Amino acid sequence: MDEATIKQYYRDYVIGCYSKEDFVFVRGRGPWLWDINGKKYLDFFPGWAVSGLGHCPDDVVKAIIRQVKTLMHVANNYYIDVQAVCAKKLIEISFDGKVFFCNSGAEANEAAIKLCRLYGSKTGRYKIISMKNSFHGRTLATVTMTGQEKYSAPFVPLPDGFAYAEFNSIDSLKSCVDEKTVAVIIEPVQGEGGINVADREYLVALRKFCDENDLLLVFDEVQTGMGRTGHWFAFQHYGVTPDIMTLAKTLGGGFPIGAMVAKRSIADLMVPGTHASTFGGNPLACSAALAVMNTIEKQNLLENVNTLSQWFIPELRKLQKKFSVIKEIRGIGFMLGMELNVSGKSFVERCRKNGLLLNCTHDTVVRIMPPLGIKKSLLKKGLKIISTSLKEEFAS
Ligand SMILES: *Cc1c(COP(=O)(O)O)cnc(C)c1O
C-alpha cells in the first residue's frame, strides 16, 4: 500500500488521539528503522523506550516464534509454565517479592493503586501522593495520579484520593501527607516530565519517612526499568528498595507486557477475586519478557550502558560548552535529556531530516535514549548528527 493511501485510511478510520510525525516505518533492525521510501534512520528513542534492545532483537524474535507455535494463550485460571519462570527471574533481578502480570504501564500502575488501597483498607487509608510533572498512564486513575493537569482536566470528575508533591522535596511531600495517606509513588527519573533525576539524599529520606509513617513506597520504573539507567532498575543506583515497583515498556522488548512487583507480605494481600487481567502474563508475552532478561544478561547490556554512557555524557557536555542554546544535560546511563533554552521541536525535526530519531518532551527537553546494546561507532554517529543539527539549527 502506498503512503498516501495509508494516511487517507488514518484520516478516515483511525481515531486521531495521536499527533503524527510524517513517517511510515516499515522495517526495523537493532538501532535502525527504514521508512516506506527505503530511507534508513538511526533510532535513539526506540518505540518510546519499548524497543530498549533495539528493533526485532534476535533472541526475542526466536523466543516468540518458538512460543507462538507451541501455545499462544491460556488463561490465568491455569498454571502457565513460562509465566512461572518469568516471575522467578524478575524477582531474582529486583527484590524479594511476587509479580502480577498485565499488559501496559498504566495497567501495572492501576494494580499498584489497588494494592495500596488494599493495604490501607484495614486502617481506612487510601490517599496516594504522586509527584508534580510525573507520568503514570492514561486510564482514569493513572491519569489522575499523573501530576500534570493538562492530561486529566478534560475528564472530570476524577477519582478521589490523590495529591501532588514537588519532585525532590521532602518538605513538600510532608505537607501533602494526612491521616488518609497510604502510599507515595515516584519515578526515580521522571521520563515524560523531562528527565528529572531524583537526588540520592531525597530518596533515602523518602524511604525513611515512609517506613516511619507506615506508607508504601512505589517506584514507577516503567521507563527507567530493564537496564535503561545501567542497572536493571533505577532503584539499584540509590540503594533504596521500594515496596512496589511497576514495569512495562522494555520489559517485552516490543511485545506488550506490564508487571507489578510487590514485596512478599504486601503482595499476599491480593487473593483470588481482588484483581485480574485476561491477557496478563500470557505465554507469548512472558516468553518475550524472559528472552529480554536473558538477552540483557547474555550480552552484558548493563555493562555496555555503563561503559558507553561514561563516554557519551561528557561528549554531550562538550556540546553544551559549544552551543549556548543547551541549558543542561541530565540523566543516568542511557536515559538522557538535553534541555534547550528554546523549544526543541524544530531541532528534533532537523535531526530527523539528518537521519536520527529523537523525542522532545515538555517543549524544551530533547530525550536521547539509545538502545541498550548500541555500539560505540553508532553512538558516535548519532552524536555527530546531533552536533551537525545543532550547528544547522542554532548557528551563531
Ligand atoms: C509510558 C509510561 C507509563 C504508561 O505506560 P503505558 O504502557 O503507555 O500505559 C507509565 N509510567 C511511566 C513512567 C511511563 O513512562
Question: Does ligand 1 lie within 6 Å of residue 259's CB atom?
Answer: no
68 to each of 61, 72, 73, 215, how far by Cα in Å? 10, 5, 9, 42
What distance in Å separates the CA atoms of residue 6 and residue 70, rounded to the nearest whole number? 34
Architecture of domain 3-56+300-394: Alpha-Beta Complex (3.90)
Residues 25-68: tens digit of each pLDDT: 999 999 999 999 999 999 999 999 999 999 999 999 999 999 99
Residues 180-198: tens digit of each pLDDT: 999 999 999 999 999 999 9
CA of 137 to the centre of ligand 1 (A): 5
Would the CATH topology of 3-56+300-394 be identical to that of 58-298? no
What's the grid cell of residue 111? 494494580
Per-residue model confidence (pLDDT) at position 395: 82
Per-residue model confidence (pLDDT) at position 19: 92
Q: Are 232 and 302 in contact (CB under 8 A)?
A: yes
- The yes/no answer on whether domain 58-298 falls in CATH 3.20.20.140 is no
Question: Does ligand 1 lie within 6 Å of residue 252's CB atom?
Answer: no
Q: Are 209 and 202 in contact (CB under 8 A)?
A: no
Residues 296-314: tens digit of each pLDDT: 999 999 999 999 999 999 9
The helix/strand/coil state of 24 is: coil
Q: What mean pLDDT do residues 324-331 have?
A: 98
Question: Does ligand 1 lie within 6 Å of residue 105's CB atom?
Answer: yes
For ligand 1, mutation pick of 18, 48, 134, 135 (most atoms within 8 Å of CB): 135
Q: At which residue does the C-alpha cell 525532590 appear?
A: 168
What's the grid cell of residue 38? 527505503
Q: What does the DSSP 8-state code read for residue 396? A: -
SS3 percent helix, strand, coil of the chain, rounded to 5, is 45, 20, 35
Give the mean pLDDT of the chain: 97
Nearest protein CA to atom 15 of ligand 1, as residue: 223
DSSP collapsed to 3 states, 137-192? CCCHHHHHHCECHHHHHHHCCCCCCEEEECCCCHHHHHHHCCCCEEEEEECCEECC
Per-residue model confidence (pLDDT) at position 396: 59
What distance in Å separates the CA atoms of residue 295 and residue 223, rounded to the nearest whole number? 18
Question: Does ligand 1 lie within 6 Å of residue 141's CB atom?
Answer: no
Per-residue model confidence (pLDDT) at position 311: 98
Per-residue model confidence (pLDDT) at position 55: 98
Q: Regarding beta strands 335-340 and 326-332, do their DSSP bridges make them parallel or antiparallel, or are they unpaired?
A: antiparallel
CB-facing half-sphere around the CA of 215: CA atoms within 13 A: 28
Which residues lie across from 336 on neighbouring strands? 331, 368
Residues 246-261: tens digit of each pLDDT: 999 999 999 999 999 9
Per-residue model confidence (pLDDT) at position 252: 98
DSSP collapsed to 3 states, 244-295? EEEECHHHHECECCEEEEEEHHHHCCCCCCCCCCCCCCCHHHHHHHHHHHHH
CA of 156 to the centre of ligand 1 (A): 21
Q: Where are the domains of the chain?
A: 3-56+300-394, 58-298
For ligand 1, mutation pick of 244, 249, 365 (most atoms within 8 Å of CB): 249
Q: What mean pLDDT do residues 332-359 have?
A: 97
Question: Does ligand 1 lie within 6 Å of residue 367's CB atom?
Answer: no
CB-facing half-sphere around the CA of 378: CA atoms within 13 A: 16
Comparing CA positions, the residue from 283, 327, 296, 333 lying closest to residue 312 is 333
Which of 144-153, 270-279, 387-396 shows the lowest mean pLDDT across its residues? Answer: 387-396
DSSP secondary structure, 79-117, as one string: --HHHHHHHHHHHHHS-SEEEEEESSHHHHHHHHHHHHH
Q: Which residues contact 186 (CB under 8 A, 6 or more apart)?
A: 130, 131, 134, 167, 198, 203, 206, 217, 218, 219, 220
279 to each of 62, 102, 184, 220, 251, how far by Cα in Å? 21, 7, 28, 21, 16
Per-residue model confidence (pLDDT) at position 313: 98
Q: Regarding beta strands 359-361 and 365-368, do their DSSP bridges make them parallel or antiparallel, or are they unpaired?
A: antiparallel
What distance in Å separates the CA atoms of residue 287 and residue 82, rounded to the nearest whole number? 6
Give me the percent of the chain exceeding a pLDDT of 90: 99
Question: Does ligand 1 lie within 6 Å of residue 104's CB atom?
Answer: yes
